[in-house]
A and B are shown apart, each in its own frame.
Chain A
Amino acid sequence: MPPELCVRVDGVEIQVPAECSVAAALRSAGFSSTRHSLDGTPRAACCGMGVCFECRVRIDGVERLGCLVRVREGMEISRDA
């Protein structure tokens, strides 16, 4: 098994792969979306390189791009950005 670490997503503790971006960690944990658009439809990572801002999440209270940030032990991630 590849190494894992523990983060909280929307308040729930989950195990995710250690060597990946936050966006990849969320997908690995089964989340298919990172936010909702203005009309409520789900959105997820698209451009992969910090351009489209679709993968934005709140990490430890600060809005960040999931594709550019590496996942770290104990991160608080919320999908309400």
Chain B
Amino acid sequence: MRELRTEILVVGAGPAGIAAAVSAERAGARALLVDMQAEPGGQIWRGQWNKATDPAARQWLGALRASPVETRYGLRLIDLPAPGLAVFDGDSGPLRVRCERLVIAGGARERLLPFPGWTLPGVFGAGGLQVLAKNGWPVAGQRIVIAGSGPLLLAAAATLRGLGAKIVRIAEQTGWRDLAGFGAGLLRHPRKLAQAAGLARRLAGVRYRGNTWVAHADGDDRVRSVTLASGSHREQIHCDALAVGFGLLPNTDIARALGCELRDGAVWVDGHQHTSVAGVYCAGEGTGIGGVDQALAQGEIAGCAAAGRAELAGAALARRRQSDRFAANLRRHFVLRDELRRLAEPDTVLCRCENVRYGAAATCTGTREARLQLRLGMGHCQGRICGAATEFLFGWNAATPRPPLAPASLACFTATSSSENPPQDPT
């Protein structure tokens, strides 16, 4: 079993993790950065490792290349069996890491909600199709409908259109009043406003509708059409792909597995990005959805603090305050409407892994009963998708994550179980 030792282990190589690892090294500490993807950049900077067309991506990926930060890619965190010990698994087999402090930079995932037809091939998350397309998923010439909620719909639409897709509709469930309120709030964020203007330019001519949401998708071996709802009005649109995302959710599984306190569904941190567990920091979307600027600022602060040099993060503190205001504006104006709780029909699949249907789940009183009786949330994704859905639909609390945090090889289990008395490696 391979083993590495480091001072600061950073899990997640998106903007927050890169900023944390680079800042920790600049502050004089040794850092190891690990990510499950094949290269750094997280979701937002996918494909930027080679292209680097985004200025912030160019700056930080360049800083990472130039820094002595040790990196390992294609490895997924499986277990944290003891303080200062982490077990990963992936391409190159399991890896055990011993560290003094941990920075969690696990990012966010999309909230996907069940509606009839959402399991058809060709139905994606909105950010989901965007990142797939960034890694070569063919969209040129395709008719694509984008639906759900939040500014990510626009970013996804712009990316897909730039790759040659025909965006036939963007359906935003939030009403015009809130969209106007969100827009007005952007006036305090010149950078975001410039981004919004850029998106508007790239999406000129695309039909954007507020107060509109997906009712159902239809198809055979893949999606062929979507029906959108707005009040009592229904409209069917033929499409080759449907991208539906209901905003982003902080990934909190690693923090919860460690016993870190949460607040409002996000990891609680103090002014130094330190969680409620000693030696464990969290930066980026895990602490609440705030976008790339928030992630970079929090990453810098966490890296410096974890290196014992919090005072070096001075300039990032002001940027973090600015992005906190943006995050609050986002939360206030993109609240999901009640109609979305009534999209699924009794035979609509709710848990995609175990094929548990909405009607069966609705007879249960909570996550535990649904797990025991129906295996809801007990398949490959371990409830990462349906857990967020049942929280929204039924108000259920998600189950506390237990190792393995993701499907792992048997070799990895041997590594985990022998962690207290590591065997001597004969080689």
Contacts and interface: CB of A to CB of B under 8 A. Distances in A.
Given A32-B222, A38-B354, A47 B137 contact: no
B109 interface: yes
Contact of A47 (B36, B76, B112): B112
Given A51-B381, A68-B37, A37 B355 contact: yes
B355 A21 contact: no
A32 B352 CA distance: 17
A41 to B, nearest CB: 7
Contact of B132 (A17, A43, A48, A56): A48
Interface string B53-91: 000000000000000000000101000000000000001
A52 B38 contact: no
- Which of A23, A28, A47 has the largest count of B CB atoms less than 10 A from its CB? A47
Given A43-B121, A47-B385, A67 B352 contact: no
Contact of A37 (B38, B119, B130, B409): B119
A73 to B, nearest CB: 15
Nearest to A81: B380
Interface size class of A (residues with CB under 8 A): 35 or more
B306 interface: no
B407 interface: yes
A41 B131 CA distance: 25
Tell me the dominant secondary structure on chain B's binding face: loop
B351 to A, nearest CB: 10
A63 B112 CA distance: 24
B25 interface: no
A44 B138 CA distance: 14
B400 interface: no
A56 B123 CA distance: 16
B125 interface: yes
Give me the 6 closest cross-chain CB pairs, A-B, nearest first. A20-B136, A44-B121, A48-B128, A24-B136, A53-B380, A21-B135
Interface of A: 17, 19-21, 23-25, 27-28, 32-33, 37-39, 41-54, 56, 62-63, 67-70
Interface of B: 36-38, 43, 74, 76, 91, 109-110, 112, 119, 121-125, 127-132, 135-138, 221-222, 349, 352-355, 379-381, 384-385, 407, 409
